[in-house]
Amino acid sequence: MADEHGATDAFKNRCMNAARTLESCISYFIERVSLDESSEDRKDNTLDVWLREGPRKPDVVVSLSNLYSVRPWEPGLGFSFIDGISLVHLPKLPLPWPTEAVGRLDRSEGLPELAWLRIAGPIEVDAVAATVTVYQAQSEDAASALQ
């Protein structure tokens, strides 16, 4: 039998590590946003956000799946600088959510722990999902030094 407490800690740690990575992206801009809600099964729906700063810093991709909420943004704006970025862990009941997340979704016993991504700027991204992955690519400068 799986250790539920360990699984909860693993997801919370994943969210905290992702949040730390994203904190360093405040000088980045949104290069592209892709939303795929084509499936009736929420687990197959994805939101991917590509972040870029330039050749000296690694590109970052935030990938959310098993979406519970996505607030619309202006898809035609193109590149957009970032005014603020955060990823917050939202635990299962009976643990409380952060004050700013209260009322964001209807909470029930069946709701899993979630990750809440918020990006502020000309393009606002606001999404809640049960799965989050943050990919970090090598910077072009670091890649050019490899032999």
Q: What is the pLDDT of residue 117?
A: 96
Q: Which of 68, 22, 25 is nearest to 46 (CA)?
A: 68
Q: What is the pLDDT of residue 75?
A: 60
Whether residue 144 has pLDDT greater than 80: no
Q: Which of 91, 80, 67, 89 is nearest to 119 (CA)?
A: 80
Write the pLDDT tens digit of every residue in 83-99. Answer: 999 999 999 999 999 99
Sheet strand arrangement including 60-71: 80-81, 29-36, 46-52, 60-71, 125-136, 114-120, 84-90
Write the pLDDT tens digit of every residue in 51-65. Answer: 999 888 899 999 999
Give the distance, in angstroms, between the CA of residue 140 and the centroid of all CA atoms in the same chain. 24
Least confident of 9-23, 25-39, 113-127, 133-147: 133-147
Q: What is the pLDDT of residue 140?
A: 60
Whether residue 43 has pLDDT greater than 90: no
Q: Which of 134, 136, 130 is nearest to 11 (CA)?
A: 130
Give the distance, in angstroms, between the CA of residue 125 and the centroid of all CA atoms in the same chain. 9
Q: What is the pLDDT of residue 95?
A: 92
Average pLDDT on 3-31 reads: 85
